[in-house]
Amino acid sequence: MSTGNWERRVAALWADETIGDQRRIELMRSLAGAAPHPALGWFELGGAFDSAGYEAEADVHYAAATAAGLDTVDAGRAAQMVVQHASTLRNLGRVDEALAMLQDAPEHPATGAAPRVFLALALHSAGRQDEALRVAIEAVEPTLPRYRRSVRAYAKALTER
């Protein structure tokens, strides 16, 4: 299967809201086996498990995608995977790993401010509420049409005591 055809089929599978989680996993397993690079297949299969709520299985596939070199194959998916894998780790109670992953998350148009939003969630899970709120505010601040200077100052004051 050509790379373009594979990409179209993966996109169509994700867009299809008429199928259930189990069927999506089955279909993605088949597509993952036909991926133009193993890292792409592992990533997409991890995402299918992740979206179905099977975090432990998602973790295995995300780790395989990393080991297979996803960052050298597809920078956009690699950036997405940091967010998705860290979220999975947080849900598995591995908050410190999630924090480390998100603090080093690459900036990429595919994820926008998502790494910082998920970092805020991980900080909250770690019991670091003031830091979590600061990170969340700082993630949103660039999008504000006004009050940016005030918002920056309020965010900074949350952790400077």
Residue 21: count other Cβ atoms within 10 Å of its Cβ. 13
pLDDT at position 99 is: 98
The percentage of the chain sitting over the pLDDT mark of 90, rounded to a whole number, equals: 96
Residue type, 13: L
Q: Residue 109: what pLDDT? A: 96
In whole angstroms, give the CA distance from residue 155 to residue 125: 19
Tell me the C-alpha distance between 141 and 35, whole Å: 39
Query: In angstroms, rounded to a whole number, what is the distance separating the alpha carbons of residues 22 and 87?
Result: 21
Dump pLDDT digits (tens) for 68-103: 999 999 999 999 999 999 999 999 999 999 999 999
Residue 130 has pLDDT above 80, yes or no: yes
How far apart CA 97 and CA 152 sit, in angstroms, is: 28
Query: How is residue 102 written in tokens?
Result: 């998100």
* pLDDT tens-place string over residues 34-50: 999 999 999 999 999 99
Tokens of 26: 């089955």
- pTM beyond 0.85: the answer is yes
Q: What is the mean pLDDT of the chain?
A: 96
Residue 161 in this model has a pLDDT that exceeds 90: no
Q: Using pLDDT thresholds of 50, 70 and 90, give the confidence band for residue 30.
A: very high
At CB < 8 A and 24+ separation, what contacts does 130-136 make? Answer: 130/158, 130/159, 131/158, 131/159, 133/158, 134/158, 134/159
- Compute how many other C-beta atoms are within 10 angstroms of the C-beta atom of residue 29: 14
pLDDT score of 108: 95
Q: Where are the domains of the chain?
A: 3-94
CATH class in words for 3-94 = mainly alpha
* Bigger pLDDT: 161 vs 146: 146
**Mean pLDDT, range 149-153, rounded to an integer:** 95
Reply yes or no on whether the pLDDT at 2 is more than 90. Answer: no
